[in-house]
């Protein structure tokens, strides 16, 4: 093996419940003409291919069902020069493979090497949220739950627009908006009131038609009731609530977001239709009854 992959698992992030953050650092050492490398993080793969005896192309391949935004950076270039300076941030469609940068040896007869580092997020950085869209409450028609933390909450929502609804374990979660299932996790049995559990949440993510993503987080073990790639309508059941991940009590965390780059995410304030109001923002501490039809 000519490469060394280092997993930087402890990167701090802003959001409490963003789970699928791809991070990888790879060192390419004096690549010979035939060297091949490919490093995949949850089906987002970055590799290099030989262009000539002393040049390589660094490419990305998205094997997931939804688009991703990826940031790639080259570093520690020794006797090597990159075609493009600085970090590249690109949107990569499902099944798309594209070259992000090229690296050349400065003195082809001498050993040369470089490192690449990438991060990725679900969705496209170019998504524009439809701010007029009216969302359903993400639980069953007629049922009532308190919203215990809202946009800008002080416990785990600092600087983000996200919604926590307190509900008993195993409550049915319904889609707040139509979309396609682009990520599912349901194998975690761990959760607790600390950021140490951030990466342990089960979830379902939906890709909306405006390119934004709806995230339904903290589902119970085995609590996903939809499959990857499935199209769901607003109001359809997605799964069962739980307390996996960073959660001090059983609740559903719901947010709509889009990436800024391979690391950062922006979230949106949403209009909801409830039993009491046709169109309202939600306020912390209030109880809301779902009206789906």
Residue 192: exposure state from Cβ atoms within 10 A (0-12, 13-18, ≥19): middle
CB of 135 to Zn ion, least distance (A): 16
**Using the rule CB under 5 A, is 164 a contact of Zn ion?**
yes
Buried/exposed code over 253-285 (b: 16+ C-beta within 10 A; e: otherwise): bbbbbbbebbbebbbbebebbbeeeeeeebebe
CB of 138 to Zn ion, least distance (A): 12
Residue 206: exposure state from Cβ atoms within 10 A (0-12, 13-18, ≥19): buried
In the complex with Zn ion, which residue's Cβ is closer, 117 or 253?
253
**Using the rule CB under 5 A, is 243 a contact of Zn ion?**
no
Residue 66 CA to residue 73 CA, distance in Å, equals 23
CB of 39 to Zn ion, least distance (A): 31
In the complex with Zn ion, which residue's Cβ is closer, 116 or 254?
254
Range in contact with Zn ion (rule: CB under 5 A) among 102-110, 115-123, 234-242, 253-261: 253-261
List the end-to-end C-alpha distance of the chain, in Å, as a whole number: 58
Range in contact with Zn ion (rule: CB under 5 A) among 100-108, 231-239, 247-255, 267-275: 247-255
In the complex with Zn ion, which residue's Cβ is closer, 44 or 238?
238
Residue 42: exposure state from Cβ atoms within 10 A (0-12, 13-18, ≥19): middle
Range in contact with Zn ion (rule: CB under 5 A) among 51-59, 163-171, 224-232, 283-291: 163-171
Range in contact with Zn ion (rule: CB under 5 A) among 25-33, 119-127, 137-145, 251-259: 251-259
**Closest CB to Zn ion: residue number:** 253
Applying CB under 5 A, what is the total number of residues that bind Zn ion?
3
Query: CA nearest 41: which of 62, 59, 56?
Result: 62
**Using the rule CB under 5 A, is 198 a contact of Zn ion?**
no
Q: Contact positions toward Zn ion, by CB under 5 A?
A: 162, 164, 253
């Amino acid at each position: 093996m000519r490469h060394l992959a280092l997993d930087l698992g402890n990167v701090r992030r802003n959001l409490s419940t963003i789970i699928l953050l791809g991070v990888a650092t790879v060192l390419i050492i004096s690549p010979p003409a035939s060297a091949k490398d490919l490093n995949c993080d949850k089906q987002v793969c970055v590799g290099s291919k030989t262009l000539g005896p002393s040049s390589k192309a660094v490419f990305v391949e998205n094997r997931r069902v939804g688009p991703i935004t990826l940031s790639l950076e080259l570093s520690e270039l020794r006797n090597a020069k990159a075609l493009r300076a600085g970090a590249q941030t690109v949107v990569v469609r499902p099944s798309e493979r594209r070259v992000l940068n090229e690296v050349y040896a400065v003195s082809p007869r001498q050993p040369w090497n470089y490192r690449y580092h990438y991060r990725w997020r679900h969705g496209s950085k170019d998504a524009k949220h439809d701010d007029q869209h009216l969302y359903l409450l993400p639980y069953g028609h007629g049922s009532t739950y308190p919203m215990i933390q809202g946009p800008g909450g002080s416990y785990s929502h600092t600087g983000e627009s996200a919604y926590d609804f307190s509900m008993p374990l195993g409550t049915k979660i319904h889609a707040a908006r139509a979309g396609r299932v682009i990520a599912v996790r349901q194998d975690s049995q761990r959760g607790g009131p600390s950021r140490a559990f951030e990466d342990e949440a089960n979830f379902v993510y939906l890709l909306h038609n405006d390119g934004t993503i709806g995230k339904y987080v903290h589902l119970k073990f085995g609590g996903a009731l939809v499959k990857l790639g499935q199209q769901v309508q607003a109001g359809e059941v997605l799964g069962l609530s739980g307390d996996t991940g960073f959660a001090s009590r059983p609740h559903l965390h719901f947010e709509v977001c889009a990436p800024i780059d391979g690391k950062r995410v922006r979230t949106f304030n949403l209009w909801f239709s409830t039993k009491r109001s046709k169109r309202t923002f939600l306020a912390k501490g209030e109880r809301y009854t779902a009206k789906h039809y």
